[in-house]
Structure 1
Amino acid sequence: MAPDPGRLRLRTAARAVIGVSLSVGVAEAAGLPLPATILGGLTALLALFVVGDPSARRQAVTTALLPAVGAPVLALATALHALPATRDAAFLAVVFCGVYARRWGARGQALGIFGFMMFFATQFLRAVPAQLPALYAAMAMALAVCAMVRFGLWCIERHTPPPAGPAPLAARGLARHTTRQAFQATVACGLALGAGQIVSHDRWYWAVGTAWWIFVNTAARGETLVRGFRRVVGTVAGIAVGLLVAVPLHGALVPSLALVAVCVFGIFYTAAPSYSWMMFFVTVMAGMLYGLLGVLHPGLLALRFEQTLVGALGSAFALAVVLPVTTHAVTDAWIRRALLAVRHCTAESARRLAGDELADPGPHVAELELLLGKVRVSLAPLLHPLSPLRARKERARQVLAELDECARQARGLAAVAADPDASHDARMTAACRRVETALHALLVSEAAPLPAGELAAHPHHHPGAERALTHLHQLEASLTSLATPLRTSPRGVFVDA
């Protein structure tokens, strides 16, 4: 039921089913063994899921680089199959490098995830060096098929490129988010690995996988804990369906493959709006794959739940003690970025209304929308129904409401400024100054006064100026209202005083 503008999620999910199905079909037609075929399907799913560069050209380059990471990781993991201690150390090294690579943006994240999942898949399939040729062949075929589907048959990104995310929060050394998270994830995966092996000597890697994925696309401690909770919820629901559907099928080929295709669609269609639903489909798909391998039984699904809890608890512990990043610190930074975007949008709109045809508030409006998305994600732990922090929850709601109103007025102001007949009158200068004063009160360190020349007044009135003044007055009111929730917390939950 979540909004799907342009049916982008629907098209992406349908394309994923086609890409994964063709990859599996090609592997089967080539006569590859079942473990290699499963790896080919996983490779296709990952190639279509994790590659998220902002242009089709960059996506093609990242896709071409996937085997440069996956092939050596596969070789390493299979070579260490009989050396548990060395294998575990290598796995943790892959975890650290995979998370640290996120500092290089979408491409680093895609390559890091792919490398981790190749090591993970080797444990899942119990692959040995003798199987490497078949595994490499399956990987190559899957990537070729995915490239054909994604960049040839159905290039959604060529027509509707995904919006580029806002630049990461600036930091250096251990203050950099990706560096801190690399240490956190490594400790979490190490704890999950050790405890997971105590629970099960054969399926310990499930706990490591849980700990790893909880850290993907998260920034603050609360955000990551909520993600862990949602993963457990989705896994429990998936196990329940697995008991009702996957176990009775006993690995029957045709219905199992059909349900795997449904799960692939569900993973892609629900990934953006609901992590719990995505994990539900991932868990059901895992059950189907174990059924195809002939090892599925109710006890195995129960073990998956236990390993999921182990991984989630390992992550929670690491988040609490290893270079913790608090929710209010991350939220503070994103709110400041959003308010700066409001300021730049207002300044550009004012210049455009004053007659500067080169001024363009449009990019700042688009940036503001992306930054508000980051604020919503960062505040999600405080807004969660189970959050006991009622006062902070209410302040978070107020902040989001006022920021949404700021964005609405900024969009309206930019639309008025785009009207070539709109003009600027003497009242605009005073209104822009009041907005600037309200922003300066919230962003003392970042906001410098606007140059006076940008707001030169014209004596005549125009309906466009009237609409712009309305937007400016309402924007000023929202910014003034923001001061209360942003500064009432004794701990400085959002913007520090």
Structure 2
Amino acid sequence: MAPDPGRLRLRTGVRAVIGVSLAVAAAELCGLSLPASITGGLAALLALFTVGDPTVRRQAVSTALLPAVGFPVLALATALHGVPLLRDTVFLMVVFCGVYARRWGPRGHALGIFAFMMFFATQFLHAVPAQLPELYQAVAMALAASGLVRFGFWCIERRTPPPAQPAPLAARGLARPTTRQAFQATFACGVALAVGQLVSDERWYWAVGTAWWIFVNTASRGETLVRGFRRVVGTVTGIVVGLLVAVPLHGAPAPTAVLVAVCVFGIFYTAAPSYSWMMFFVTVMAGLLYGLLGVLHPGLLALRFEQTAVGALGAALAVAVVLPVTTHAATDAWIQRALLAVRHCTAESARRLAGDESADPTPHVAELELLLGKVRVSLAPLLHPLSPLRARKARAREVMVFLDDCARQARGLAAVAADPAASHDARLTAACQRVETALYALVAPGGGGAPVAAAAFDAVPHHHPGAERALAHLHDLEATLISLAAPLRSNPRGVFAEA
């Protein structure tokens, strides 16, 4: 039901089904074993899912680099299959390095996930060194197949390049998000590994996988807790469907293959709008794969839930005791950046309206939209239906409404500025200065200081349609910023809480 502008999620989901199917078909035609085919399908899925560089060229390079981390990890994981203590230690080292690699942007993010999942796959399939050659062959063919589909047959990104993501929040040392999360994720996975092995010495890796994925794309304690809750919800519903669908199939190849394809599509189609739905499809797919391997039974699905709960609790413990970052701190930083983008957009629009043809507010409008997405994600813990903090939920919702209104007025102002018929008007100088003053009061520490001088406008007759529209947007923007000051500046610790 979520909006799908340009049907991008639909096209991405269909492309993923084609890429994964081609990878598995290639492995089967080469006579590889079922575990190798599953590994190849997983490698293709990961290549299509995790590689998210801003340009097609960089995506191709990142895809080509995946074996550089995947092959050594596969070799280590299979070689340590019979040495549990050393295997667990190396697994946690892979976790730390995989999360720490996110400091190098989308490429580090993709390589880190791929390395972790290759280690995870060997535990899932109980792979041993004798299987390593065909695992290598399956992964290589899968990456070639997914690359052929992504960059040859169906290059969605070339037609609709993804917008550049805003830079991470600035920090140094242990406060740096990637460093902090590397320690948090390693602690969480260590707890999940230890407790998971007490629950089951054969399927403990599900707990580690849960803890790992909860830390993907989260920035604060509240975000991590909400993500853990959503993962549990998705897993429970997936288990129910697995009992009704996967268990009765008994691993029948044809219907299982069709349903796995449906799950692959569901993972890609729902990943952006709903983590719970994505985990639902992941859980159903895992049940179907266990059916193919001939080990599926209701007790195994129940164990899957137990291990998921263990991983979620490990993540919750980690964000509570290891270098915690509150929802308030993360949200306030993103809001400040969003307001700064509004300020830049207003300034560029003012320059354009004053006659500067080089001024362009459009990039700042696009940046503002992305930053508001970050604010929404950061506020999700307070806006969650189960949040007991009613007053803070109301204030957070109020902040989001005002910020959305700021974005709407900024878009309108930029559209007027881009209109060559829009005329200069001396009244715009005063309006821009008032907006600048309101923004400076919200962005600057303590609200003090003087705003930057607005652009100078030529004196022309009033009531020009372009000038009137620009004035209307500026007046509405000023009113919204003044209203936004109340929830942001009055008792700020009570707005977002120490969630």
Structure 1 and Structure 2 fold alike (TM over 0.5): yes
Name the SS for the 1:454 alignment partner: coil
- Aligned mates of 1:145, 1:117 — CA distance in 2: 19
- The offset of 1:426, in angstroms, is 1.4
Give the aligned partner of residue 324 of structure 1.
324
For 1:203-218, list aligned pairs within 5 A. Answer: 203-218=203-218
- Match for residue 151 of structure 1? 151
- The one-character-per-residue Cα deviations of 1:39-66 (angstroms, maximum 9, x if unpaired) are 0000000000001111111110100000
Aligned to 1:259: 259
Whether the 8 Å CA contact 2:392–2:494 is kept in 1: the answer is: no
Native 8 Å contact 2:487 2:495 kept in 1? no
The Cα shift of 1:455 comes to 2.5
- Measure, in 2, the Cα distance between the counterparts of 1:182 and 1:149: 33
Q: Does 1:175 align with 2:197?
A: no
The answer to whether the aligner puts 1:454 opposite 2:450 as a matched pair is: no
Which residue is equivalent to 1:475?
A: 477
SS in 2 for 1:491: helix
Give 1:490 shift.
Answer: 5.5
Map 1:269-418; keep pairs closer than 5 Å.
269-418=269-418
Aligned equivalents of 1:494 and 1:341: distance in 2?
21
Q: CA RMSD in A?
A: 1.4
What is the letter of the counterpart of residue 476 of structure 2?
Q
In the other structure, the counterpart of 2:56 is 56
> Is contact 2:429–2:456 with CA below 8 Å preserved after alignment?
yes
SS in 1 for 2:493: coil
1:165 partner letter: Q
Unaligned runs of 5+ in 1: none
Q: Give CA-to-partner distance per residue, 1:451-491, whole Å, 9 cap, x none.
A: 54722342333211110000000000000000111122352
In structure 1, the residue matched to 2:493 is 491
1:466 is aligned with what amino acid? E
Aligned to 1:5: 5
CA contact (8 A) 1:439 1:447 kept: no
1:165 counterpart residue number: 165
Cα gap change, 1:448 to 1:125, in 2 (>3 Å): farther
Q: Which moved more, 1:278-287 or 1:461-470?
A: 461-470
Deviations 1:64-99 (A, max 9, x none): 000001000000101111110000000000000000
What CA distance in whole angstroms lies between the structure 1 residues aligned with 2:451 and 2:495? 29
Q: Structure 1, residues 270-295: CA drift from partner, whole Å, max 9, x if none?
A: 00000000000000000000000000
Structure 2 counterpart of 1:106: 106
2:434 corresponds in structure 1 to 434
Over 3 Å counting, the alpha-carbon distance change for 1:201 and 1:188 in structure 2 is same
Q: Which amino acid aligns with 2:318?
A: A
SS in 1 for 2:97: helix
Contact 1:428 1:457 in 2 (8 A): no
- Tell me the alpha carbon deviations over residues 285-322 of structure 1, each in whole angstroms, 9 at most, x when there is no partner: 00000000000000000000000000000000011000
Match of 2:229 in 1: 229
Q: Name the count of aligned residue pairs.
A: 496
Residue type at the aligned position of 1:476: E
| Alignment partner, residue 41 of structure 2 | 41
Q: Would the aligned equivalents of 2:208 and 2:311 in 1 still touch at CA under 8 Å?
A: yes
Matched with 1:466 is 468
Measure how far apart 1:450 and its partner are.
5.6
What displacement does 1:424 show? Answer: 1.8
- Secondary structure at 1:455 match in 2: coil
Q: 1:311 to 1:218 in 2, by over 3 A?
A: same
* Number of the residue aligned with 1:96: 96
Note the C-alpha offset of 1:150. Answer: 0.2
> What CA distance in whole angstroms lies between the structure 2 residues aligned with 1:413 and 1:9?
30
Q: Is the 8 A contact 2:433 2:453 kept in 1?
A: no
Deviation at 1:448, TM superposition (A): 7.3
- Quote the sequence identity (%): 80
Aligned AA (1:467): R
Q: SS of the residue aligned with 2:455?
A: helix
* 1: CA distance, partners of 2:86 / 2:332: 42
What's the counterpart of residue 247 of structure 2? Answer: 247
Q: Could you say what secondary structure the match of 1:165 adopts?
A: coil
CA distance in 2, matches of 1:158, 1:293: 38
Q: For residues 452 and 117 of structure 2, what CA distance do their matches in structure 1 show?
A: 53
Distance 1:379 1:345 in 2: 24
CA distance in 2, matches of 1:38, 1:438: 57
| Alpha-carbon distance in structure 2 between the residues aligned to 1:422 and 1:490 | 40
2:121 match: 121
Query: Secondary structure of 1:218's partner?
Result: coil
Give 1:205 deviation, angstroms.
0.2
- Structure 1: which amino acid aligns with 2:251? G
Query: Residues 232, 426 of structure 1: CA spacing in aligned structure 2 closer, same or farther, 3 A cutoff?
Result: same
Q: Give the distance between the partners of 1:451 and 1:393, measured in 2 at CA.
A: 34
Measure, in 2, the Cα distance between the counterparts of 1:31 and 1:480. 68
Q: CA separation in 1, counterparts of 2:454 and 2:95?
A: 53
Query: In structure 1, what residue type is equivalent to 2:349?
Result: S
Residues 95-121 of structure 1: CA deviation (Å, up to 9, x unaligned): 000000111111110000000000000
Q: Distance in 1 between matches of 2:352 and 2:431?
A: 15
Between the aligned partners of 2:291 and 2:26, the Cα distance in structure 1 is 21
Q: Work out the CA distance in 2 between the residues paired with 1:493 and 1:481.
A: 15
